[in-house]
Each structure stands twice: as structure tokens, then as C-alpha cells.
Amino acid sequence: MKIDRTALERALQDGAGASADLFAQLRAPWPQGGVHRDTYGPGEQRAHELVRRHGEAMGLESSVDFAGNLVLTWPGRDRAAPVWITGSHLDSVPEGGNFDGAAGVVAGLAAVAALRQLAFEPAGDITVMAIRGEEASSWYQGDFHSHVGSRAALGLAQEAELLRARRISDGRSMHELMRAAGMQPEQVRPGHAAIDPARCKGFIELHIEQGPVLVNRMRPVGLVSAIRGSARARRARCLGEYAHSGAVPHELRKDALLAACEFCTRMDEAWTDARTAGKDLVFTVGRFFTDASVHSITKVPGEVSFSIDLRSQESSTLHEMCALAQDLAARISQRRSVQIDLGPFNVSEPAVMDAALLDSLRTGSAALSLDALVLPSGAGHDAQDFARAGIPTAMIFVRNDKGSHNPDEAMDMQDFLTATGLLAWQLTQ
């Protein structure tokens, strides 16, 4: 069944009020400032119940998997046919924004509502998933990975992680909190999945853009090419020797600061070279400091600490830059009589979105005259876990001002409906 563009737009506009209501209800407990939908805590729980009631009121089938993910299903003609999954997470960071995560869940429901109004009959099930714990690392500490809900549902998580993850506020384990909420953390293990990739047609996550690219290019909708991987050095150091700033001449100095500055400047130049060569790369030194307990205006610094965050859609670019950084560190160390020790790079590989699904979304964008911009995602998303599980995965970005993870994130409802139209279109394919 071919979807008529004008009819789809009308259906979405008809549903706009319901989406706005749902956003308002999600926001209600925090009328001012940031939202606090804490992972496996009352904030997230409240959002899940709200969305479950909304989905059930729409007549969707509702279930909750062993990790607490909410699954709302619009049955297809053939219940055994491949399933579309769409959705995102409902938790937020502390003092977070109302749209990061939640927009993808509300969009799924709005897309289903619009398609039902158009009397579309899905071939297979269409599932809207409200995922748990994407922001877990903002609420818990310890040796565990974030994206708990999606990884658990896909058989990519471990029970031991849930025991090690301790809530920052009170030290209780995530495992204990999940049990207390009626979930089955003991079922979380590699290979034990609530979702069978073989039964999935694909996973599509709609999310607000966390950067300023769509705002800057004046485009309401983006299509994600890949979720950038990262190579991070958390505790890089440059060791030299403290010395009197007036009495020690250049040739006898081991100046840690000027060496570390040169390292950053050369890396910055290499970043320009990589971009000029058409590579995808961002390079950030977020922390950089002389030792406040020792440093002084009249001392040549003997130590500098800094961090490195390299991100790219291309695994090869990440690994090339790590090698280049190590080489630069060694050469500058020798030339300047210091020791630049970058420590190990912690590498998280990029997640490339499914090429066929991306092509299909481009077609949809053209059909709906959206002129969607293809761009990488610099931040991590549940979608990367679905891609890793072998499910054809795509992401739709909605233009958003003022960044995310803060109360000021500003998504226009019209942009939301435009992006939701593209999601709806894709669910009919």
C-alpha cells in the first residue's frame, strides 16, 4: 500500500495534540528545571507506566521483558513475518531534558497512530519499544557498561555487571533495584535475548540531534550514517622537571607544559589534515592542567595531565590517529627531554548504520520532500547495540537547539512531526 504524502501529513497533524499531551505528562513532575528519570528508579518507572497506559489505550499489545523494557505491538497481518522495531530510551540524565530518548518513543506511538488513521495494514508486527537504562552511567558507578536495557534485551549484557553497578545516591546495586521492581536480572546473560534478530526487519531509532549541525544547516531532519566510535586516553601525562622560571635557560629546561601544548597543536594539525583528506574525525582535549598544588607563575611546569577523546565513523581513522598520537608523543618527548605518556587508548568501534535501510530512508526523504541531511552521530545510542546484534539499524535525527542532557534542549514540535512522518513512511516499507 502506497502512502499518500498529504494524507500522512494530515494524520500526523491530527495526532499532534496527543503527542504534545504525552510530552507534557512525561514532563509534569518537573515543571521547572531538568527532568530526573532515573534508570531503574521512580523517575524512569513513572515514564514507563505512562507510556504503557498510552499504548494500551491505543489498543496495542503490551508486554515487559526481563530487563524491564516495555514492548507495545501493533500486530501485523502475519504474526510470523519480520518485525519492525522502533523506539528509544525513557530515562534521562540528572537535570536532563524532556526529549533526549523520550522523543523516539513518542514518535513511535505517533507514527503508529497516523498509520492506523490511514487504515494502513502492516504485513508484520510493528513494535514500539521503550528501552531502559541508556543513561545508566549517569546514575550508577562501578565497572559496568551503559545501555543496559538494549544490551540485556539483545543478549549482550552480563548479570555480573548489574551487581557491580551501584546507584550513586545510595550504593544499592542495579541488580537489587531491578528485582525490587519485579524484573528478572538473573536472566541477563550473553546470548539470552528477548529480541530475536532473525525475526527483525529492522530497528529505527528517532532521537533529537545532540549537536548543532541541523540547526546550523537549517534542516529539520537528519539521517545517521554511523555512530562514531571513540578512542580515549583518560589519564595522559607529560612529565618534565620543575625549574625556576627566570634562572634556568632554555637548553636546560624539561618544560612539560610547552611539550604538551605542542603535542595538542600537532594533533590539531593532523585533525585538519584528516578532514581535508575526507575523513570523519573530531578531536577533543577536554581536561588539561598543571598541578595546582605545585604550579606557580615563576616555575617551569614539571607535570601536565590531560585527556584525549577521538571520535570517528571510521574504525581505520581512529586507529590511524591513535598510532599518530603515540608517534608524536614519542618524538616530542625525545626532542624536548620530557616523557609524554598517553596511557592506553580505550577504543570503542564505530557502529555503521545499515546501508539498505539508509538508502530506503533517503528514498522516503525524497518522497516526502524532506531534504534530510546525512550526518554522523557523535554520541552513543541504543541503536548501536541493535546494529551490533546484527539487526538492520537506522537513526533519524530531529533538529534540536541548545544541545542535550540539559533542561534547555529545544525541539520544535513541527520538526518532530516531520521526522515522525519519515519514520511512519519507513514502517510501511
Q: Which helix (H) or strand (E) holds 227?
A: strand 221-227
Nearest CB to a second copy, comparing residues 66 and 288: 288
Q: Which stretch binds a second copy (CB under 8 A): 25-33, 193-201, 285-293, 417-425?
A: 285-293
Q: Which of 25, 158, 284, 360 binds a second copy (CB under 8 A)?
A: 284
Kindly state the cell numbers that stand for 393: 539499524
Kindly state the cell numbers that stand for 368: 516526502
Alpha-carbon span 342 to 344, nearest angstrom:
7
Q: Choose among 242, 257, 259, 251: nearest CA to 329.
A: 259
Kindly state the cell numbers that stand for 303: 607535570
By CB neighbour count within 10 A (0-12 exposed, 13-18 middle, 19+ buried), where does 245 fall?
middle
Q: Which stretch binds a second copy (CB under 8 A): 93-101, 103-111, 188-196, 224-232?
A: 224-232
Q: Which of 46, 199, 279, 295 binds a second copy (CB under 8 A)?
A: 295
In 3-state terms, what secondary structure has residue 197?
A: helix
Alpha-carbon span 158 to 338, nearest angstrom:
42
Distance of closest approach, residue 296 Cβ to a second copy, in angstroms: 5
Query: Residue 130's Cα: distance from chain center in Å?
Result: 15
Residue 403 in contact with a second copy, rule: CB under 8 A: yes
Residue 349 in contact with a second copy, rule: CB under 8 A: no
Number of residues that bind a second copy (CB under 8 A): 56
* Burial profile 68-100: b = 16 or more Cβ within 10 angstroms, e = fewer: bbbbbbbebeeeeeebbbbbbbbbbbbebbbbb
Residue 216 in contact with a second copy, rule: CB under 8 A: yes
Interaction with a second copy in 37-96: which residues (CB under 8 A)? none
Q: Which of 296, 316, 334, 414 binds a second copy (CB under 8 A)?
A: 296
Residue 211 in contact with a second copy, rule: CB under 8 A: yes
Nearest CB to a second copy, comparing residues 119 and 247: 247
Distance of closest approach, residue 143 Cβ to a second copy, in angstroms: 17
For a second copy, the binding residues (CB under 8 A) are: 209-213, 216, 228, 230, 232, 234, 243-250, 252, 255, 257-258, 260-262, 264-265, 268, 271, 275, 282, 284-290, 292, 295-301, 304, 307, 309, 311, 377-380, 403-404
